[in-house]
Structure 1
Amino acid sequence: MKLLAIPPSLNIRFVTVLLLAMGLSTPGIGEITSLDSGNIDDILNNAGVALVNFYADWCRFSQMLHPIFEEASNVVREEFPNTKQVVFARVDCDQHSDIAQRYRITKYPTLKLFRNGMMMKREYRGQRSVVAIADFIRQQQVDPVKEIHSLEEINALDRSKRNIIAYFETKDSEHYHTYEKVANILRDDCTFLGAFGTVSESERFSGDNIIFKPVGESAPDMIYLSSLNNFDLSFAWAQDKCVPLVREITFENGEELTEEGIPFLILFHVKEDTESLEKFQHEVARQLISEKGSINFLHADCDKFRHPLLHIQKTPADCPVIAIDSFRHMYVFSNFKDIEFPGMLRQFVLDLHSGKLHREFHHGPDPTDITPGQEDTAGEVASSPPESSFQKLQPSETRYTILKRERDEL
């Protein structure tokens, strides 16, 4: 029996249809904007939402993502035809290493989300598929401000979350547009609500206003006192309220926190032990506010993070415990109760920055720190500090696959 020969063009068409069904290819040319140092600021600043693919041509995962990214762009463009509402863009990091360095791109491909030119903390880490990427963009288009229809709803707010409530005469105002822009950027950190017209009238005795309701039933409200039209002032105020000085680290946000690239000062505490957490928060604010940009202040559930505790020869029974993870080694604070002694917690952090903690682990106490009767041990070499545990929450070498990577536990 003679077999029919299939023309090469039909072979290609069949493969294309098959790949499309799998979400791995796209017909035509996707609407992807190539960014360079000359156009990046203009394009991102004028985009409501921009999803940017930072890639390298030699990376096979980058090559696999290209057709998926293009097809997702086509799908999204059909739903959101306004070219400034949603932008899909890409950066060749080999050709534009200055841009890669600017946004701290170290692995390829990396998908970063921008709003009005501002890069969001949380990059896209979902499945590398057309459906998942399109769904992610749809979620970004959901109104970040929940409208209040009755002031009674405020009494039913979840006070375990940070809530910002705005009272406006109308939605069609510069005040509201500025508030909405702030809410879009901080939507993952706070709950934003808005009351309008007659619903908000009783709260607008001196005009439109915004208040912050902190966590806790008894926590007093805080009022925004600066210009409602000024985005920079509004954003700075809301960010200060929505992003706490001491954040909780979990397995879900650990990768994001490690990508900030600065060491951790961590309080390990039993979840129910709120008293120790409050003391830690108070002392961090009192002693370490000036170090905010050089170290992350975190708290962690002792039970969930047993493994890092074992690294420093502690168990949940020893909590509360304070430690520094430098992404190279871990160092333990002498005694939790010592945080209330003036300057001790601050000195612990300064000793990390100066290299003293690492030096003393290897070579014993510095000569000026030797206590009477300890002189004979000054020259002894101490044991090496425990290796970093939280470094393991950084993106793995196998992170960039078509399917979402399962998180390995510490």
Structure 2
Amino acid sequence: MVLTVMGLSTPGQAEITSLDSANIDDVLSKTLYFTHYVSEHKRFEIQMLHPIFEEASNIVREEFPDTKQVVFARVDCDQHSDIAQRYRITKYPTLKLFRNGMMMKREYRGQRSVTAIADFIRQQQVDPVKEVLTVEEFNALDRSKRNIIGYFEKKDADNYRTYEKVANILRDDCTFLAAFGAVSEHERFSGDNMIYRPAGEGAPDMVFLGSLTNFDLAYAWTQDKCVPLVREITFENGEELTEEGLPFLILFHVKEDTQSLEKFQQEVARQLISEKGSINFLHADCDKFRHPLLHIQKTPADCPVVAIDSFRHMYVFPEFKDVSVPGKLRQFVLDLHSGKLHREFHHGPDPTESTPGQQSPGELLPKLAPSETRYTILSRDRDEL
């Protein structure tokens, strides 16, 4: 595990690893890293955090003397802007957790104190896999959660090590369980395997058909099951989603309106699966987000409403009923990437595509001077929200 702090490197007695472009990939491949990202522009805040970070490192090193298990690291983003860009670091100081070379999507948001940081690392050392000791326990699983269950002949084997590695990375997204020996025998007729048991009573299990020795394949399959294609955005997780660095395609719907959500999910899967790495697909409660709706001239009475939040502007999809028109939702997203939505936001519809009686997404929004600040769904003015 790597805990990395991005920022200025200052001398200290603690063993803080300095990361740069030459060593970062090798260093982050270790088990657990906590990384501190810093910048000259935030000197005061970073100098305040440095002794806390170093003291926490000393405490953790004493509790976990195997340095391959937990490493604290630091990156000076003024000197290594390529690293800041690679991991989408835009504010300083930032604390990020890495496991087996992969950055965890949730940055550290706890108190900037020695005790809090040390406790966070202790929590990360807890085994995310719960061992199932009896067959009866399978019948008592919490079906309100997404469960991944592994069936193994023994724990000391490559198959289980792969499973444990996947569980450590996705511990916040799924519940991981494992059964060994006689308890798992009834599910090991073709060897060690794992299944996904979705949330909801009666939902059928899904079986992993690949090799458990292939980490990349096992991780990709599990992530697909544990992280929904369309996620809910709330005021609690909004900042975390923003840190993923992708614009939002959002369905605003009344909470009880599951039909529009199902329709949106189907069309995203049908039209936009290839765009998964370029935009986040989200849904939001109209009542909770009524103020952002007002800023795009909508109210909960207008829901369902689909919009894109680019973090600069919000663009409205003209009519929700048209999401099922083949290719139309996809074109809306492609128009974001091409810059068309931004251009039409400021200047109206492109002259060559203007059709009498039609409105472009830009026409649905007020025409403000280019220098004016526009409201996005995650405006930090929480009093207004």
CA distance, structure 2, for counterparts of residue 100 and residue 382 of structure 1: 34
- Asked if structure 2 preserves the Cα contact closer than 8 Å seen for 1:362 and 1:381, the reply is no
CA distance in 1, matches of 2:259, 2:136: 32
2:36 to 53, 68, 90: 53
Matched residue SS, 2:213: coil
User: Does residue 1:292 correspond to 2:276, yes or no?
Assistant: yes
Out of 389, 397, 405, which is 2:376 matched to?
389
Q: What residue in structure 2 maps to residue 176 of structure 1?
A: 160
> Could you tell me how far apart the structure 2 residues matched to 1:325 and 1:44 are?
32
Confirm or deny that 1:339 pairs with 2:323: yes
Residue segments in structure 1 that go unaligned for 5+ positions in a row: 1-27, 375-379, 397-406
282-291 vs 380-389, greater mean Cα deviation: 380-389
Q: Is the 8 A contact 1:115 1:185 kept in 2?
A: yes
Q: Do the aligned partners of residues 44 and 371 (structure 1) sit closer, same or farther apart at CA in structure 2, a change above 3 Å counting? A: closer
CA distance in 2, matches of 1:232, 1:128: 34
Separation (CA, whole Å) in 1 of partners of 2:383 and 2:113: 22
Alignment equivalent of 1:151, drawn from 135, 143, 149: 135
Name the CA distance, whole Å, in 2 between partners of 1:211 and 1:81. 35
1:172 shift after superposition: 1.1
Percentage of identical aligned residues: 79
Cα distance in 2 for partners of 1:226, 1:381 equals 48
* CA distance in structure 2 between the aligned counterparts of 1:332 and 1:240, rounded to whole angstroms: 28
Q: How many residues in Structure 1 have an aligned counterpart in Structure 2?
A: 365
* Cα distance in 2, alignment partners of residues 284 and 326 from structure 1: 18
Q: Is the 8 A contact 1:326 1:388 kept in 2?
A: no
- The CA distance in 2 between the partners of 1:139 and 1:408, in whole Å, is 33
Larger radius of gyration: 1
Aligned with 1:116 (options 76, 90, 100): 100
Give me the whole-angstrom Cα distance separating, in 1, the residues matched to 2:172 and 2:153. Answer: 26
In structure 1, the residue matched to 2:203 is 219
How far does residue 57 in structure 1 lie from its aligned partner after superposition? 4.7
TM-score (norm. length: structure 1): 0.83
- Among candidates 200, 215, 230, match of residue 246 of structure 1: 230
**Residue 329 (str. 1) matches residue 313 (str. 2):** yes
Q: CA deviation at 1:104?
A: 2.2
Query: CA RMSD, aligned part only?
Result: 2.3
Normalised by the size of structure 2, how large is the TM-score?
0.88
**After superposition, where does 1:193-232 map in structure 2 within 5 Å?**
193-232=177-216
- Give the CA deviation at 1:349: 1.6
Asked if the contact 2:316–2:364 (Cα under 8 Å) also holds between the matched residues in 1, the reply is no
- TM superposition shift of 1:300: 0.8
What is the aligned partner in structure 1 of residue 148 from structure 2?
A: 164
AA matched with 2:24: I
1:129 to 97, 113, 117: 113
- Which residue of 2 is the match for residue 315 of structure 1? 299
Q: Per the alignment, in what secondary structure is the counterpart of residue 22 of structure 2? A: coil
Q: Structure 2 unaligned segments of length 5 or more: list them.
A: 1-11
Could you tell me whether the CA contact under 8 Å between 1:362 and 1:383 is conserved in 2? Answer: no
Query: Residues 192 and 297 from structure 1, CA distance in 2 versus in 1: closer, same or farther, beyond 3 angstroms?
Result: same
